[in-house]
């Protein structure tokens, strides 16, 4: 049982860590609700302060006054590539390799199928059995369409399978961060293993982009996708992004050939001719209001060094684990997230048989996380706006709920549609 001195020591450490935080000023770039500790930015990011004015301008001036002229006058046509380049700076991609627009599922299908087409004659598509469900569904769909065998191989075993059977593998489709546990995999090593076998790699960056340094160009990545509404904080349903390495763009043969990716879109030709470069990865008319919101949200990263962000993220997640060890010991929790910094993304997951009512009770107290079936409590850490004091408060509230059995109340037992 923790003593008062233990809690005081943790509070002193939190205060010292926050006082030394070189990114503390960035918190002011977000509109955070009073009295809320938001630990669900790995699912939906908090509202950046730059977004409301940008959306208001888009609605009232650009749409309301300038009307269709905004495609030219306000840069609507260029927005997918312009926003893509801004995302590219966060994921280690030189300009001209990232495009924003459409949903993650659409971007995933478009790029994964195109990747597989670049390796004809190879019959295997590898994916992770622990991948987010959509990734697995779309891998199966691509397999059916192209006659590929989809094999589910855990990320930790993929390099060995590639070494043994790599000549048959067209694409290895993985995520650097396990969406459930926050475990971080070695992107560079897996990419190198795939390339050594002549295969391509497709990365899902949904739980990595904006949370930690991603070096797509440096590791020789082939294709990647990611969403705009988690750590990038682009808002509910924000457009996703797709990355196509320069060396693959000329042969990028994707299935969804929309008119925005045409070489001469306003020629209105009945035959598709792909535009040069990353523009060919565009599909149809983007959701402009959401795209404008995402572009504004990305300004929260201005002047932020991704290595410094990673250092703070590791400090926050490590401090959470330390607080959990001290305050939750003996209360039925087990740590699901690796303790080694190099194997930890920007979230921490705890296992507990009563995960849902615990999260519901926490939310009622203004500490917002989420859960994943059957027994995971997930806590996401956006280092742009969270503090170590937030971390200690969250774990303290969790301890209070368990010891008082507040989570057993009837109102915390009924599960809503979204958990």
pLDDT digits (tens, 9 = 90+) for 15-41: 999 999 999 999 999 999 999 999 999
Residue 3 pLDDT:
64
Res 237 pLDDT > 80: yes
First to last CA, the chain: 31
Q: Which whole number is the average pLDDT over 81-103?
A: 98
355 in Cβ contact with 371 (< 8 Å): yes
Residue 1 pLDDT:
60
CA distances in angstroms from 26 to 2, 85, 301, 303, 352, listed in the order given = 33, 22, 8, 10, 34
Residue 5 pLDDT:
77
pTM of the entire predicted model: 0.97
Q: How many beta carbons lie within 10 A of that of residue 149, not counting itself?
A: 12
Residues annotated as part of the active site: 132, 204, 229-230, 378
Q: Which whole number is the average pLDDT over 391-417?
A: 97
- Side-chain-facing half-sphere of 19: CA atoms under 13 Å: 6
Residue 7 pLDDT:
83
Task: Please give the Cα distance from 263 to 259 (Å, whole number).
Answer: 9
Q: Which whole number is the average pLDDT over 302-314?
A: 98
Q: Which whole number is the average pLDDT over 397-402?
A: 98
C-beta contacts of 144-147 below 8 A and 24+ residues apart: 145/113, 145/255, 146/113, 146/116, 146/117, 147/123
Q: Which whole number is the average pLDDT over 174-178?
A: 98
Q: Which whole number is the average pLDDT over 230-246?
A: 98
Res 4 pLDDT > 80: no
Q: Which whole number is the average pLDDT over 192-196?
A: 98
Residue 408 pLDDT:
97
Task: Please give the Cα distance from 375 to 245 (Å, whole number).
Answer: 38
Res 172 pLDDT > 70: yes
* Strand pairing category for 223-226 and 370-372: unpaired
Closest CA to 228 of 210, 215, 245: 210
Q: Which whole number is the average pLDDT over 233-250?
A: 98
* pLDDT class of 13 with cuts at 50, 70, 90: very high
Q: Strand (E) positions, 98-212? A: 98-100, 124-127, 149-152, 169-174, 200-204
Dig out the tokens for 28 from the structure.
Answer: 């002011």
What are the tens digits of pLDDT across the range 66-81? 999 999 999 999 999 9
85 in Cβ contact with 64 (< 8 Å): no
Res 397 pLDDT > 80: yes
What are the tens digits of pLDDT across the range 48-63? 999 999 999 999 999 9
CA distances in angstroms from 195 to 48, 167, 170, 191, listed in the order given = 39, 10, 10, 6
Range with the poorest average pLDDT among 18-27, 363-372, 410-419: 410-419
Res 2 pLDDT > 90: no
Share of the chain above pLDDT 70, in %: 100
Q: What angle do CA 358, 362, 365 make, to 5 degrees?
A: 145
Res 418 pLDDT > 90: yes
């Amino acid at each position: 049982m923790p003593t008062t001195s233990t809690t005081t020591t943790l509070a002193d450490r939190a205060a010292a860590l926050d006082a030394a935080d070189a990114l503390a000023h960035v918190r002011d770039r977000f509109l955070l609700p009073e009295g809320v500790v938001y630990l669900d930015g790995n699912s939906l990011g908090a509202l950046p302060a730059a977004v409301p004015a940008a959306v208001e301008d888009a609605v009232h001036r650009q749409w309301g006054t300038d009307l269709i002229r905004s495609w030219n006058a306000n840069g609507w046509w260029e927005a997918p590539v312009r926003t893509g380049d801004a995302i590219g700076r966060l994921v280690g991609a030189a300009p001209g390799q990232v495009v924003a627009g459409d949903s993650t599922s659409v971007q995933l299908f478009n790029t994964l199928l195109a990747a597989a087409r670049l390796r004809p004659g190879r019959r295997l598509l590898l994916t992770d059995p622990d991948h987010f469900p959509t990734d697995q569904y779309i891998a199966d769909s691509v397999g059916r369409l192209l006659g590929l065998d989809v094999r589910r191989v855990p990320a930790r075993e993929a390099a060995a399978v590639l070494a043994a059977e790599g000549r048959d593998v067209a694409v290895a489709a993985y995520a650097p961060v396990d969406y459930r546990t926050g475990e971080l995999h070695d992107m560079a090593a897996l990419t190198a293993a795939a390339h050594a076998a002549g295969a391509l790699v497709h990365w899902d960056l949904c739980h990595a982009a904006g949370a930690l340094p991603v070096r797509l160009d440096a590791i020789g990545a082939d294709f990647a996708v990611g969403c705009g509404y988690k750590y990038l904080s682009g808002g509910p349903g924000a457009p996703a992004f797709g990355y196509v390495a320069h060396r693959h763009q000329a042969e990028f043969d994707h299935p969804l050939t929309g008119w925005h990716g045409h070489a001469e879109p306003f020629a209105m030709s009945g035959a598709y001719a792909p535009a040069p470069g990353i523009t060919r990865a565009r599909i149809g008319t983007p959701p402009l209001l959401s795209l404008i919101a995402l572009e504004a949200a990305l300004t929260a990263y201005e002047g932020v060094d991704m290595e410094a962000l990673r250092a703070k993220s590791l400090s926050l997640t490590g401090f959470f684990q330390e607080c959990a060890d001290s305050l939750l010991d003996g209360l039925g929790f087990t740590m699901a997230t690796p303790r080694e910094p190099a194997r930890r993304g920007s979230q921490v997951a705890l296992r507990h048989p009563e995960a849902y009512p615990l999260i519901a009770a926490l939310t009622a107290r203004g500490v917002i996380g989420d859960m994943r079936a059957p027994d995971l409590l997930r806590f996401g850490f956006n280092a742009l706006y969270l503090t170590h004091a937030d971390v200690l408060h969250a774990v303290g509230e969790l301890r209070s709920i368990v010891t008082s059995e507040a989570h057993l109340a009837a109102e915390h037992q009924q599960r809503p549609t979204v958990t």
